[in-house]
Structure 1
């Protein structure tokens, strides 16, 4: 009995102690292969080798020899498990920032993991079958090899095939011997910091109660089935002990995990947890009443309900832990998947060790003796059965009580993610005086973007593409950015009403709105021309570092709006992007226009990420007007719509109830390449068709940039600057 307790307790306690140390090491590893992969590979090899040696036990050796032999290899095996499991769990946590995708990832992992619990109980059938093996000890020695090799190979897969970025240049804690020794203090501090997060405390404690109450009685399964249902005759029990574990795992695999994943998406993670644990309580009650001697098949009816307890636990809890890690990063500025994974599983493993001791305590408490038949100790058998059903119920109820106020909803998780993205954008130190290359990448760490579902095929013929372009244009755009300047003109020259009317005549059949950028030097004639063609107008006041000119622009805009010619008033275009005015001045201008105009929506236009960086802009604007250019961020055409979608979704997450309009997006047909973004006639047409399809699919209002080519922009944007129009500089249709 003492040897059994030591074998059950000490290796698992060692595992629980070494896990946090491994978490610290994994979180701070500098390697060309990233933080996790090397340890996963090493742990896989150690576990595979140790598992084979651990079970090479022979009856002819003494009891003491076999005990110490098994004890030693158990220690090695659990050290390998620490090397493997801590970075492996962390890899799962850091795979996604998405609230629901995290649940999907954990559900898939748990689904695959459940197959071990389906298969393992079947070993009971073959180990004692003389047609398979001459004895159980021979079976253990041979099966250990056949189990260890494929499991070790499978365990290596994350190390070999999950790509990770190099961490050689990261600012991590040094991993020298003295620092690792001193890491125990850091680990203690990490524990304290982690447990300051009340949501994480709830996750750990509720998992502790559910999982370990279950494991306390799990080792009693054999005795309850054999003695309650078969009067102590193990031979007569046949397959029923194996079926209990096997069918329970199958229920988890094909019923519980799909249901809990769906419930989590529909109702939220907390509600899904509460519902699943309530179902498990019903299952435990059914097990109490359906354990009837002579009718073992009845307990099968309870297994699908019973399986909801453990079956749903780790799918939901590990997904919730990933959400909590975001809270920790917001609080501390550190990204510590390894540490949190280690702490969470420390709670599980310490409890697992305690569960082994408690199961022995229950057997002692009820006075059960495996050498006696049921009829001689009916009370003890009934006591085991009662503990088997009601002890996990108590643990489940305690966990549900703890989780009753858990409040990390999808909305809160999105808000936290948004704040982290904003912080990362500020820390990246991107120069906002120009449209940043890969800005979206720096904000959201997007990898592997693919095409959007409404995109045209990559191999579409030129004829089909031209037809799709014409169809998209003929069905009318929401809006077009109006380009008033002809060849040889620039922004300092005054425009004539005739010129504006001629250009308005060209674009009017293809749009419902136009957007202008200034309210002076002839631009004030644009809204009246648009009205004459039945178009609505978004009219801008050009704002720069020239205060006198700004005042003239703003007064002209106010005058036009009061005449009823402006549907949306815009104060400034990409002023922050050009770094021409401080935020306070822009807000003062906006307040001035809003005070003058009561019935006209007022907004400010800038690159999408400026609204993420500056929540005060969101507060002051009636409508959020964002410019989104996958081209200027170096995005390939095949991924550009998905890229645009992420730009829009990023602002949507911080917009609250404010409407969002994309005021500029487009693609040039000629000019220099910008990383993976290639100007060409084909790409410009594809982008136009894909974006118009996307806007209709998402219900997003966009102003396409631009109506006409304007040569003067070469001086500001290089050779591509003059090639953004749907029509050329002479007002001829380009496509």
Structure 2
């Protein structure tokens, strides 16, 4: 028996010594090279989320590699398998890729994939001059080149490249371009794949509002959009019932037959209507695509719900904004998309205070499932209770729950949707 015990100890020590052998690491990298966007998207084993690691009121303060690694560990613990970034003009995206690679060096079993965004602008965007929406920015070519370089440098991590973010929707008045610009760059990337200058399994898309993909006004139904739908590997569409609680509030206001319900029931019913609103937008894009004789995957590149607003969506507006409603929406969207085989890049992982730097309570700063200082919002309280975040930190602080975990205090900030008459008054 003693001999067997000694043998077992020696064997286990040998196994521990060799578990991270170089050839093992190479094998894991090769395995991840073989995992493609087709394997990831629509697969609930690879939950998706939009990620920005910015902690300050300006993007000039870039998150450090250590801070990015902190965040990625948190997301991985949540079951996130693929994250979305938005541009490669700034160091953030390339540093995210470096952070993932560092984490994989430390733990060969660590896994995180990336949908890499390349930002696209029209001429004169963000310059103070009149934007020319029919001509693209001279900076676009360099942005695409940077994305290509990163996709080739990190082929085991980058599985999707998205050309533009809400770059075709006409309410993006500061920078939108015509579909032919997006089509040009999508075709360029597809050609690089054919020539072996990009990984052949890399998927190319554009991530844009549902209307930009033909699901809304007929003014978007152009030959260039038809060609774009045929050129991308899949459609990445955005849907925001949250914003429509102000701009298109018919689904949101209290119906007359709900007057006698409790406040909680009114909120629950409203959130289920919000889900149906998102599903209708998804179906509208699907129907338009199929009307062109095309049948490709459609995934949700963005959707989310803010937890604080002092504007259109706050207590004096549509009353849509609080952590309770955010949590309901997050769960409803995850349940629907997971069951339907749709990837949902939920917006977003962490609050980013740079988005509306001059208005700290502006809703754009508060779409995260975590606060900037690493507090888990109500949507994640159950995970916190389960110990998912045990031992993990953000900015060196342990992950705790907002409102000190007091649900009664949280509910004091929850308001029921207004009636039609109340909405008109605003």
TM range (shorter): 0.5 to 0.7
Deviation of 1:638 after TM superposition, in Å, equals 3.6
Q: Which structure has more strand as a fraction of its residues?
A: 2
Q: Which residue of 2 aligns with 1:559?
A: 149
Taking the aligned partners of 2:237 and 2:363, their CA distance within structure 1 comes to 21
Q: Is contact 1:493–1:521 with CA below 8 Å preserved after alignment?
A: no
Structural RMSD (CA): 2.3
Deviation of 1:573 after TM superposition, in Å, equals 0.4
Q: Which residue of 2 aligns with 1:702?
A: 344
Q: Which residue of 2 aligns with 1:642?
A: 276
Q: Which runs of 5+ in 2 are unaligned?
A: 1-43, 105-109, 124-136, 195-199, 215-219, 246-250, 253-270, 379-426
Matches within 5 A, 1:659-678: 659-671=297-309, 672-674=311-313, 676=318, 678=320
For normalisation by structure 2, the TM-score amounts to 0.57
Taking structure 1 as reference, are residues 622 and 526 closer, same or farther at Cα in structure 2, changes over 3 Å only?
A: same
Deviation of 1:722 after TM superposition, in Å, equals 0.7
Deviations 1:554-593 (A, max 9, x none): 1111011122131011111011122422222221122222
Q: Which residue of 1 aligns with 2:355?
A: 713
Q: 1:651 aligns with which of 282, 285, 289?
A: 285
Q: 1:630 aligns with which of 241, 251, 263?
A: 241
Q: Which structure has more helix as a fraction of its residues?
A: 1
**Residue 549 in 1 paired to residue 139 in 2?**
yes
Q: Is contact 2:58–2:357 with CA below 8 Å preserved after alignment?
A: no
For normalisation by structure 1, the TM-score amounts to 0.34
* Larger RCO (CA within 8 A; separation ≥ 6): 2
Deviation of 1:515 after TM superposition, in Å, equals 0.6
Q: Which residue of 2 aligns with 1:118?
A: none
Q: Mark the structure with the bigger radius of gyration.
A: 1
Deviation of 1:622 after TM superposition, in Å, equals 1.2
Deviation of 1:552 after TM superposition, in Å, equals 2.2
Deviation of 1:545 after TM superposition, in Å, equals 2.7
Deviation of 1:536 after TM superposition, in Å, equals 1.5
For the residue of structure 2 that corresponds to 1:663, the secondary structure is: strand
**Residue 621 in 1 paired to residue 217 in 2?**
no
Q: Which residue of 1 aligns with 2:335?
A: 693
Q: 1:527 aligns with which of 97, 101, 105?
A: 97
Taking the aligned partners of 1:554 and 1:673, their CA distance within structure 2 comes to 36
Q: Is contact 1:562–1:597 with CA below 8 Å preserved after alignment?
A: no
Taking structure 1 as reference, are residues 620 and 715 closer, same or farther at Cα in structure 2, changes over 3 Å only?
A: farther
Deviation of 1:527 after TM superposition, in Å, equals 2.9
Deviations 1:468-519 (A, max 9, x none): xxxxxxx9762010112112332x5544323322221221222111111112
Q: Which residue of 2 aligns with 1:226?
A: none
For the residue of structure 2 that corresponds to 1:525, the secondary structure is: helix
Q: Which residue of 2 aligns with 1:263?
A: none
Taking the aligned partners of 1:529 and 1:664, their CA distance within structure 2 comes to 23
Deviation of 1:619 after TM superposition, in Å, equals 1.7
Taking the aligned partners of 2:94 and 2:296, their CA distance within structure 1 comes to 28
Taking the aligned partners of 2:139 and 2:373, their CA distance within structure 1 comes to 30
Taking the aligned partners of 1:721 and 1:476, their CA distance within structure 2 comes to 29
Taking structure 1 as reference, are residues 516 and 554 closer, same or farther at Cα in structure 2, changes over 3 Å only?
A: same
Q: Which runs of 5+ in 1 are unaligned?
A: 1-474
Q: Which residue of 1 aligns with 2:67?
A: 499
Q: 1:603 aligns with which of 190, 193, 205?
A: 205
Q: Which residue of 2 aligns with 1:576?
A: 168
Task: Count the aligned residue pairs.
Answer: 260
Taking the aligned partners of 2:237 and 2:142, their CA distance within structure 1 comes to 24
Q: Which residue of 2 aligns with 1:178?
A: none
Deviations 1:38-81 (A, max 9, x none): xxxxxxxxxxxxxxxxxxxxxxxxxxxxxxxxxxxxxxxxxxxx
Deviations 1:213-242 (A, max 9, x none): xxxxxxxxxxxxxxxxxxxxxxxxxxxxxx
Taking the aligned partners of 1:695 and 1:704, their CA distance within structure 2 comes to 11
Deviation of 1:731 after TM superposition, in Å, equals 2.2
Taking the aligned partners of 1:478 and 1:644, their CA distance within structure 2 comes to 19
